[in-house]
Amino acid sequence: MEHYNMNLTLKVWRQKNADAQGKFETYPVSGISSEMSFLEMFDVLNERLINEGKEPIAFDHDCREGICGACSMHINGRAHGPWAGTTTCQLHMRAFKDGDTLTVEPWRAGSFPVVKDLTVDRGAFDRIIEAGGYVSVNTGNAQDANNILIPKDDADAAFAAAACIGCGACVAACKNSSAMLFVSAKVSQLALLPQGQPEKKSRALNMIAQMDKEGFGSCTNTGACEAECPKEISLTNIARLNREYISAGMTYEK
């Protein structure tokens, strides 16, 4: 694709800290290369702000290769911007054209409070994992291959669910701020495998209880989460979570 430079107008959410009232600030940026990533564009802007003696824009980032899930930006109404199946760091400026105005907001959800500017606290996800998103066994040495037989389809489905990076785009994209896609991926990756069976019931019930406690909304099956997920986690996982809930809730004695 041909390289080009562009001038853009950025409207960015600025918020001093969790308690402060935030507001949008407008920044014109010029000479942005179409080859830059969205975050590199922010680096350019922040460098300028620092040189001008202003506070740079705080945003989360870590790996910059689409696997850490830190870059929680809502760009022109879309979680991680307009491209499907990408995080913000993998969104490149060629997605935009010269003269565009880009509105950048943090994830909006009561359960993801804004820490500063575009940085949000996704600790609620950690607490959901702590509630049951694990297997309580010592792994020890690696077992012989094929010691435990797992159908290939199940292994593939578990792997697809395990691709979830916990970025929170599902919550950000959902009109209800529901965490069902995240929870369903984390329950599915274990429910599909033999190692996940012993704690199957308590896991589903405890993780769902924690999800409710954190204040996430409920799922109305709009499919916005699936459309925005950078790892393209499927809604079939939510159906599986519902099945896990029904079977566990109807038989769990505790």
Partner 1 sequence: MKWSQFFNTSIGKKLLVGATGLFLCSFVIVHLTGNLTLLKDDGGEAFNIYAAFMSHNPFIQFLAWGLKIIILLHAIIALQLTFRNRAARPVKYAINPGNQTSSWFSRQMAIMGSILLIFILIHLKDFWYVMHYGELRPVTYEGKEYKDLYYAVYEAFKVLWVVVLYVIGMIGLSFHLVHGFKSAFQTFGLNHVKYNGLINFVGVWLFGILIPIAFAIIPVFIYFKSI
Which residues make up the interface to partner 1 (CB under 8 A)?
Answer: 11, 24, 74, 76-78, 103, 105, 108-111, 114, 173, 175-178, 205, 208-209, 211-212, 215-224, 227-228, 235-236, 238-243, 245-246, 248-250, 252-254
* 14/64 with CB nearer partner 1: 14
* 64/95 with CB nearer partner 1: 95
In the complex, least distance from residue 145 CB atom to partner 1, rounded to whole angstroms: 30
In the complex, least distance from residue 254 CB atom to partner 1, rounded to whole angstroms: 7
Of residues 30, 87, 28, 97, the one with CA closest to residue 62: 87
Question: Where are the extended beta strands (E) located within the chain?
Answer: 5-14, 23-33, 73-75, 78-79, 101-106, 114-116, 119-120
Helices 180-191, 123-130: inter-axial angle, 10-degree rounding: 30
* 58/64 with CB nearer partner 1: 58
In the complex, least distance from residue 100 CB atom to partner 1, rounded to whole angstroms: 13
Contact between 89 and 61 under an 8 Å Cβ cutoff? The reply is yes
Of residues 21, 15, 62, the one with CA closest to residue 167: 62
In the complex, least distance from residue 226 CB atom to partner 1, rounded to whole angstroms: 9
- Those residues whose C-beta lies under 8 Å from the C-beta of residue 30, and which sit 6 or more positions away, are 7, 8
* 28/215 with CB nearer partner 1: 215
Q: Give the H or E element holding residue 54.
A: none
Residue 194: exposure state from Cβ atoms within 10 A (0-12, 13-18, ≥19): exposed
In the complex, least distance from residue 175 CB atom to partner 1, rounded to whole angstroms: 6
* 45/207 with CB nearer partner 1: 207
